[in-house]
Amino acid sequence: MKKILTYILLILLVCTGLAAASHKLAATQGATSGKVLNLANWGDYIDPALVKKFEKQSGYHVNVETFDSNEAMYTKVKQGGTSYDLTVPSEYMVQKMAQDKLLIPLDKQRLHGLGNYGHYYMNKTFDPGNKYSLPYFWGTLGIIYNDKFIKPGSVDHWDDLWNPKYKDSIMLIDSARDIMGMGLVSLGKSMNTTDAPTLDAAKAKLDAMSGNVKAVVADEIKMYMENNEAPLAVDWSGEASEMLAENKHLHYVVPSEGSNLWFDNLVIPRTAKHFDAIYAFLNFMTEPKNAAQNAEYVGYATPNDAARKMLPASIRNDRQFYPNETTMKHLQVYENLDPTVVGKYNDLFLEFKMFKH
């Protein structure tokens, strides 16, 4: 009889424990579902310490999912199988997502510190009035050179890359829009040109420099440049900053006649659910001290002028990554072009790469 009573008591204790655990789990899940932020971002594109700081200050848990292309992120949002509250598309993709009604407009009444952002980075053509987006990081397309092989000041303009003395010396980023854009600017044309004859002329000019091209690659550029295996490259400022950090002989130049001004931006996709968390995070990242910390970690240029003032002088005054006003006025933001025009860019770039070989 005692054994039976003991068994009954044990069963009751187990049931009570399970019920308590179930109740605690349900409570935790309920809190998590309401106190969470789902962020889709590029890889290693936010200081993890800032995420922890935000979680501690706000009480919201941040789930970070990474993507490796604008198109991959776009597809997930469009298909509706995600629960992203915030994501970080580039400028042309902001325009495309807005046109396709995949974004929720920002509630400016819930945002603080908008005056921290510099005028160069707001109200751009891809999002007039910043209806949908806040700038996160920005950068340029430019020329990287190694002073072991190239005299400083001898490569300041796109046309310098056509000099025959640079035969088999230049690494080009494998990007149709950027390399075609370089060709267009060298002709004095817009990087958003849609005119077929002008695009053909840009491709013909690129063909004329093919003998100077060592390779058309992507991430491999960093290895070549860091290891002194190539004297010149055309790449993005963010990639350049990583190379310069590894090799003191490398320098980055943005041609003053014009280049691309790119933006990555925080937006609210239509999949968003946790709006209190969203605005808490946007305001947190707008605070100058947090934006400055993030810029130091990521290594890209911040659009937050108040944050820039808090950066070390060696960073905030670096004209390689914060060009002067004259150069800034000539920088061009990519527009979301018609698919047929994008196809033209891609076809011409492919022909150029084949011509090279």
Which tens digits make up the pLDDT trace of 236-250?
998 999 999 999 999
Residue 255 falls inside a structural domain: yes
Asked if 116 and 247 sit in the same domain, the reply is: no
Q: What is the dihedral of CA 296, 299, 303, 304, to 10 degrees?
A: 0
Asked if 75 and 166 sit in the same domain, the reply is: no
Asked if 219 and 347 sit in the same domain, the reply is: yes
Quick one: pLDDT band at residue 20, thresholds 50, 70, 90?
A: very low
Structure token digits, residue 345: 């860019």
Please tell me the distance from the alpha carbon of residue 78 to that of residue 215, in angstroms, as a whole number.
36
Asked if 311 and 236 sit in the same domain, the reply is: no
Tell me what the mean pLDDT of segment 320-326 comes to.
91
Quick one: pLDDT band at residue 356, thresholds 50, 70, 90?
A: low
Q: Which residues contact 61 (CB under 8 A, 6 or more apart)?
A: 32, 35, 36, 37, 55
Please tell me the distance from the alpha carbon of residue 352 to that of residue 289, in angstroms, as a whole number.
45
Please tell me the distance from the alpha carbon of residue 257 to that of residue 277, in angstroms, as a whole number.
43
Contact status, residue 194 vs residue 112, Cβ threshold 8 Å:
no
Residue 21 falls inside a structural domain: no
Residue 13 falls inside a structural domain: no
Residue 238 falls inside a structural domain: yes
Q: What is the dihedral of CA 39, 88, 48, 45, to 10 degrees?
A: 150
Domain that holds residue 337: 139-261+324-356
Please tell me the distance from the alpha carbon of residue 91 to that of residue 264, in angstroms, as a whole number.
6
Tell me what the mean pLDDT of segment 167-174 comes to.
96
Domain count, the chain: 2
The model carries a pTM of: 0.82
Asked if 133 and 239 sit in the same domain, the reply is: no
CATH of the domain at 344: 3.40.190.10
